Amino acid sequence: MTTVVYCEAGHRHALELIAKARTLSSEVIALCEDEAACGACLAAGADRAALLPLAPDDCAQGDLAAAALARLAPDSVLFPATVRGRFLSGWAAARLQTGLTADCTALGVTQDGLLLQSRPAFGGNLTADILCREKRPQMASVRPGVFPMPETEGNVPAAPIEKLDVRPLRDYLIREGFIPAQNAVSLQDAQVIVAGGKGVGSRKGFDKLFRLAALLGGAVGATRSAVDAGYIGYAHQIGQTGVTVRPRLYIVFGASGAIQHTVGMSAAKTVIAVNRDRLAPIFRCADYGVAADWEETIDVMISELSEQA
Amino acid sequence: MRILCLVKQVPDSLEVRMGSDLTLEREFVAQVLNPADESAVELALRLRDAHGGEVTALSMGPARAEGTLRELISRGVDHAALLCDPACVGSDTLATARALSAAAKALGPFDLLLFGRRAADGETGQVGAMTAALLGIPCVVHATDAEIEGDVLTASQLTEAGTVRWRAKLPAALTLCEWSYPLRLPTLSGLRRAKNAPVAHLTHEDIALSREDCGLRGSPTRVTHVSARPSGVRHTVWFSAQEAAETAAHCLEEVKP
């Protein structure tokens, strides 16, 4: 099987997919938006790197991706399931009239050599295995953080970078501006995450989480219901419709433990959960449980850790 | 201005049951409008109120989805149609996008197509982008707000890193995030209208969609197996707040190089 991994400029998550694709395929081609990505993908184990132009217009980029995939004609294609990666994969799949499985959390190969794509649905209550039997390429987007980042060695193999001669069909969108998220956090790279659920109760409540996170040198995450309630921005959302994280330490306050949330944090090394309800499902996913009021607990933790600092 | 809202009826709870053919069984639980679609409908109504024109709501689904469409009429939508065809059962994202793009062509032309960013049940979040790609119109996904001036659409897109502002010439498509525009309540006159307004039931033939492109037949992907998810159960040790702080500090020591 030949697999193409689509690599967005400035994103490292494609490297996780390169490493995974190597275990599934005989040949891994990195399809990159810039030269830096080509080098990183080759170092991570891609056999070849192909460079496609970068359009400032995401729809035009989707056309470019479709044209490049038609040229490379792989058996399968993996996209990182970022907001943009998911958009590009959908646009390209529609252009190529092929199947797409969004937000996969596991990949494999069947006995007859098909890409086995598994994805959660219904708030994570179900996992569905999906095949694309006839149409090619078999396309999937994969949640960032699902597969570990490969350890890359310093010596980059000197494989040539193939520049693809594909051109945008037309203009669709004009990018007018960009406002970076406040408290821009890289949840995926964080070693420590302090997360809050709806039980945190307010924006002010989350301020305490930010204080604890600062003491621990970590980032702040949130469940979907806390984000939906407007306590914190979407960029902080952990779980099935947010990001998947794998920190060393995950401390979570006032979350019930909905599967929608826990699928995003189950790879954490150590989990501490705080919830007044001893029977809350969140404790099933925790190494250490504190059955107490979240705010009293965080106050104690903040004062204990401030003293140590 | 003519606006088309593509909406879906979803189960009110995320408990699920699968049929023997591994398609979802939707009969046993209360059905509601997909939460993200509420934002799409409310934005459509606000744009219509500001600029004039008409809002049409279209859904693909079983006959009972008509209830959701009538509810939207009570909240101010002008027209509603239901693509209700056994041939469309089992559609994956591509087959769904094909059907919706064919319906948009058949009922159109429209200046703006509005979707929820994803359905709460299937959660693929791809249908809006794929429909726009098939129609060849600009599309902004994950939008949190949008304005129209003349024939130019401006929209904010929420991404992991921040908010991107996009501009596009109409016709265009948007997919809206859940918490963007809270849907207005029904009015008395709306409720009255909802009772008697015609809601056309369409089949693939009505929208000039080939039978081969519909439903399971037109779907390149197939669900082959479904399982309840193993949920990473851990053995929990009970702690006091002080112990939690000590453990956190201890973990921190390990993290430090």
Q: Which of A163, A195, A215 is the last residue of a domain?
A: A163
Mean pLDDT of B148-154: 97
Question: CA B196: distance to chain centroid?
Answer: 26
Same domain, A10 and A64: yes
> Is 80 exceeded by the pLDDT of residue B68?
yes
Does the predicted TM-score (pTM) go above 0.90? no
Q: What does the pLDDT look like over A246-304, one tens digit per residue?
A: 888 999 999 999 887 887 888 788 999 999 998 898 998 899 999 999 999 999 999 98
Q: Kindly identify which residue of chain A lies nearest to residue B172, measuring between CA atoms.
A: A172
| Cβ <8 Å between A91 and B92 | no
Mean pLDDT of A55-77: 97
Q: Mean of the per-residue pLDDT values for chain A? A: 90
Whether A168 contacts A64, CB under 8 Å: yes
Mean pLDDT of B35-48: 96
Is residue B191 less than 8 Å (CB to CB) from chain A? Answer: no
The whole-number pLDDT of residue B26 equals: 56
Q: Kindly identify which residue of chain A lies nearest to residue B16, measuring between CA atoms.
A: A122
Q: What does the pLDDT look like over A160-187, one tens digit per residue?
A: 889 999 988 899 999 999 998 765 567 8
Domains of chain B: total:
1
Q: What does the pLDDT look like over B113-146, one tens digit per residue?
A: 999 998 877 778 999 999 999 999 999 999 999 9
What band does B255 get if pLDDT is binned at 50, 70 and 90? low
Q: Mean of the per-residue pLDDT values for chain B? A: 90
What band does B257 get if pLDDT is binned at 50, 70 and 90? very low
What band does B39 get if pLDDT is binned at 50, 70 and 90? very high
Same domain, A130 and A40: yes
3-state secondary structure of B132: helix
Same domain, A155 and A275: no
| Cβ <8 Å between B235 and A234 | no
Q: Which of B166, B179, B242 sits opposite A228 (nearest CB)?
A: B179
A61: domain CATH number is 3.40.50.620
Same domain, A267 and A159: no
Tally C-beta pairs within 8 A across A and B. 259
Is residue B125 less than 8 Å (CB to CB) from chain A? Answer: yes
| Cβ <8 Å between B139 and A290 | no
Q: Within the 8-47 window of chain B, which residues sit less than 8 Å (CB to CB) from chain A?
A: 14-16, 18
Q: What does the pLDDT look like over B155-211, one tens digit per residue?
A: 999 887 889 999 999 999 999 987 789 899 999 999 999 999 999 999 999 999 999
Q: Is residue A103 part of a domain?
A: yes
Same domain, A126 and A10: yes
> Is 70 exceeded by the pLDDT of residue B14?
no
CA distance A72 to chain B (A): 20
pLDDT above 70 as % of chain A: 95
Residue scoring higher pLDDT (B118 or B87): B87
> Which residue range(s) make up the domain with B115?
2-255
Interface test with A, best of B115, B140, B234 (most A CBs within 10 A): B234
Mean pLDDT of B41-64: 97
| Cβ <8 Å between A262 and B126 | no
Q: Which of B130, B225, B251 sits opposite A94 (nearest CB)?
A: B130
The whole-number pLDDT of residue A304 equals: 87
Same domain, A39 and A87: yes
CA dist., res. B58 & res. A268, Å (int): 42
The whole-number pLDDT of residue B227 equals: 82
Same domain, A191 and A147: no
Q: Is residue A182 part of a domain?
A: no
Same domain, A118 and A153: yes
> Is 50 exceeded by the pLDDT of residue A150?
yes
The whole-number pLDDT of residue A185 equals: 62
Same domain, A248 and A282: yes
The whole-number pLDDT of residue A76 equals: 98
- Judging contacts by C-beta atoms under 8 Å, the chain B residues touching residue A124 are 229
Same domain, A18 and A156: yes
A196: domain CATH number is 3.40.50.1220
B204: domain CATH number is 3.40.50.620
Q: Which of A163, A178, A196 is the last residue of a domain?
A: A163
Mean pLDDT of A154-164: 79
Same domain, A12 and A132: yes
Same domain, A296 and A215: yes
> Is 80 exceeded by the pLDDT of residue B20?
no
Domains of chain A: total:
2
Cβ burial, residue A295 (10 Å; 0-12/13-18/19+): middle
Q: What does the pLDDT look like over A85-111, one tens digit per residue?
A: 999 999 999 999 999 999 898 999 999
> Which residue range(s) make up the domain with A264?
187-308
